[in-house]
Chains A and B, each alone.
Chain A
Amino acid sequence: MAIIIWSAGMIAIVDYGMGNIFSIYNGLKRVCDRVMLINTANIADLRGADGIVIPGVGAFDDGIRHLKPFSDSLLAVVESGVPLLGICIGMQLLFEVSEEGEEQGLGLIPGRVVRLPSFVRVPHMGWNNLHLHRYSELLEGVTESDYFYFVHSYYCMPRNNADIVASVDYGVQLPAVVNRANIYGVQFHPEKSSRKGLQILANFVERICKC
């Protein structure tokens, strides 16, 4: 049995079976020495994390069902102030409900998830630049001429405009980055957005989780 010695600066990736986590693991490894995968066998280790990442691709209901075994520990750790970053479907799961499914989301950010309008090609797939709404340490060094890789068919609608850090124009202005207290979400894939994407992961690890 492996013995884990807890030291400062551990980023936990929730490996809940939604898509491959190889890329996000590699991306975080680039910017952080201690990255750990949390699965159903080692959920308790979430308590040692200084930052948590919920990655993933796939459908809302599928995601929330796969996340169920983790949600109690997850909510307790987040309640204690540990920063959480949701990526793509991981971001959408932070909200209350989605048009894509029936299940209740985590409800960490008030609002809902809705379908992209039918007059644009769906999924929204490719590189898009951001419209910055307010300052966040997560986007330190990012400008409106930087591009990020998106692939999604639904988008988040926070109830409070103040929770929107950046938006993206795809037929509608849709939130690309959200933040409420220690909860962060990005609709794009930083682990697939080349150098600027890795910079966002580094910002999360170093500036927000203080690793």
Chain B
Amino acid sequence: MLAKRIIPCLDCDLGVPGGRVVKGVEFHHIRYAGIPWELAAEYDEQGADELVFLDITASHERRETMANVIEKVATGVFIPLTVGGGIRSIEDARRVFNAGADKVSVNTAALKNPELVNALSNRFGSQACVVAIDAKRRYLRSDAELKHAEEDGREIVDTANGKCWFECSFYGGRVFTGIDALKWAKEVEDRGAGEILLTSMDRDGTKDGYDLDLTAAVCARVNIPVIASGGCGLPTHIREVFMHTEASAALAASIFHYKEYTIKEIKQYLLDNGIHVRL
């Protein structure tokens, strides 16, 4: 039986020589969780099913640094590696694949140029092409707003907090696009994406749990695997997302970086609660 995947996310600050994994920001100071390849080896040892590396600096001159990081990880860690942040072209993708990455994740570049999804999946295969979608709830508070959204052809979801649609953002949630995230999910599947990394911008960083409505809505619309992301603060959040949605994987960062729980502990908890994981 296919196991639900637990994926630690390593946000990499490549401005530091060699690169560092960011743990969080406290009192305006960036705190680091460790050196990427050391942390990667530790998470593999704990039973991580996959690793996602995000270049949070994403500046052009540091592209080579990310390739070096991946190369160091891939010589010692034999699980799937996904790289995201700053992948804008086939050439950017080729660089990290040659370094040992298995998948690239694109967000901004795909929204600006959807053909990139076709190009990546044609060239490297669907399995290597992950589209990251950062979605935010847009509540429809009045009949007029609802009617307007319907006329715009929005995919409207009924949540416990009212009806809403979901808007795609990029540049880490700083820019909103007006693009309907649920429609975009279907479109990227049609364009050849092999997986969707779905982050709730309402929940990201809150530790309040995944956005189950968003996750369920995307899972219902596509037939490719969906990774739920944004809001994980407790093991029970992972249990919830697997119990209430068809997500194939759950991604989390701080819960692992702050060593609140090991991956092994979380997997044992999930197993005890009837969720099928690899232990």
Q: Which residues of B contact A192 (CB under 8 A)?
A: 78-80, 102
For the complex formed, measure the closest distance between the CB of B241 and the CB atoms of chain A, giving whole angstroms: 15
* Residue A126 lies at the interface, judged by CB distance under 8 Å to chain B: yes
On chain B, the residues within 8 Å of A123 by CB distance are 126-127, 194, 224-225
- In whole angstroms, how far apart are the Cα atoms of A189 and B4 in the complex? 17
Chain B residues, Cβ within 8 Å of A126: 2-5, 49, 225, 248-249
Q: How far is the CA of A76 from the CA of B140 in the complex (A)?
A: 68
Q: Is the CB of B74 within 8 A of A22?
A: yes
Does residue A208 face the partner (Cβ distance < 8 Å to B)? no
Give the CA-CA distance A194 to B78 in the complex, in Å: 5
CA gap between A187 and B263 in the complex, in Å: 27
A71, CB-defined interface residue at 8 Å:
no
Q: Which B residues lie within 8 Å of A189 (CB)?
A: 80
| Residue contact A57 to B49, C-beta cutoff 8 Å | no
* A121 B127 Cβ-Cβ under 8 A: no
CB <8 Å contact, B127 and A57: yes
**Are A26 and B74 interface neighbours, CB within 8 A?**
yes
Q: Given contacts A57-B128, A58-B125, is CB(A121)–CB(B223) below 8 Å? A: yes
Contact residue among B49, B98, B224, B246 (Cβ-Cβ distance under 8 Å from A22): B98
Q: How far is the CB of B268 from chain A (nearest CB, A)?
A: 15
Determine the chain A residues whose CB is within 8 A of the CB of B246 once the complex forms.
121
In this assembly, does A124 line the interface, its C-beta being within 8 Å of a C-beta of chain B?
A: yes
A170 and B78: CB pair below 8 A? no
What DSSP secondary structure best describes chain A's contact surface?
mixed
- Closest Cβ of chain B to A126, distance in Å, is 5
Closest to B80 in A: A192
User: A169-187: which have CB < 8 Å to B?
Assistant: 169-170
- Is the C-beta of B142 less than 8 angstroms from some C-beta in chain A? no
In the assembled complex, B75 has its CB within 8 A of some CB on chain A: yes
Q: Which residues of B contact A147 (CB under 8 A)?
A: 3, 278
Question: Residues of A within 8 Å of B, CB-based: how many?
Answer: 34
Judge whether B44 is part of the interface by a CB distance below 8 angstroms: yes
Q: Which of A89-120 contact B (CB under 8 A)?
A: 118
- CB pair B1 A19 closer than 8 Å: no
A12 to B76, CA, bound (A): 21
- The reply to whether A127 and B224 contact each other, CB–CB distance below 8 Å, is no
Min CB distance, A115 to chain B, in Å? Answer: 13
Q: How far is the CB of B80 from chain A (nearest CB, A)?
A: 5
Any chain A CB within 8 A of the CB of B124?
yes
State whether the Cβ of B97 lies closer than 8 Å to any Cβ in chain A. Answer: yes
Contact across chains for B194 and A127 when beta carbons are under 8 A apart: no
- B233 CB-CB contact with A under 8 Å: no
Q: Give the chain B neighbours of A193 by CB distance below 8 A.
A: 78-79
- Contact residues, A143-164 vs B (CB, 8 A): 147, 149, 151-153
Chain A nearest CB from B192 CB (Å) reads: 11
> Which of A124, A125, A151, A192 is the most central at the interface, judged by chain B CB atoms within 10 Å of its CB?
A125
Contact A153 B100 (CB under 8 A): no
Are B44's CB and A22's CB within 8 A?
no
A122 within 8 A of partner (CB): yes
A125 with B278: CB separation less than 8 A: no
Q: Does B55 contact A (CB under 8 A)?
A: no
B180 within 8 Å of A (CB atoms) = no
Residues of A within 8 A of B126 (CB): 123, 153
On whether the beta carbons of B125 and A19 are closer than 8 Å, the reply is: yes
Chain A min CB distance to B24 (Å): 28
Write out the residue numbers on chain A whose beta carbons fall within 8 Å of the beta carbon of B102. Answer: 20, 23, 192
> For B195, what are the chain A residues with a Cβ–Cβ distance below 8 Å?
125
Known: A124-B2, A194-B79. 15 other contacts (CB 8 A): A19-B124, A19-B128, A22-B74, A57-B125, A57-B128, A58-B125, A59-B125, A121-B248, A123-B126, A125-B195, A126-B4, A126-B225, A127-B2, A127-B49, A149-B49
Q: Could you list 21 A-B pairs, sorted by A, with CB under 8 Å?
A: A22-B98, A23-B100, A23-B102, A26-B74, A26-B100, A57-B125, A57-B127, A121-B225, A121-B246, A125-B127, A126-B3, A126-B4, A126-B248, A129-B3, A147-B3, A152-B127, A189-B80, A191-B78, A192-B78, A192-B102, A195-B78
Binding site for A on B (CB under 8 A): 1-5, 44, 49, 71, 74-75, 78-80, 97-102, 124-128, 194-195, 223-225, 246, 248-249, 278
In the A-B complex, list the 7 residue pairs whose CB atoms are closest, starting with the nearest. Answer: A147-B278, A22-B100, A151-B127, A127-B278, A127-B3, A20-B97, A58-B125
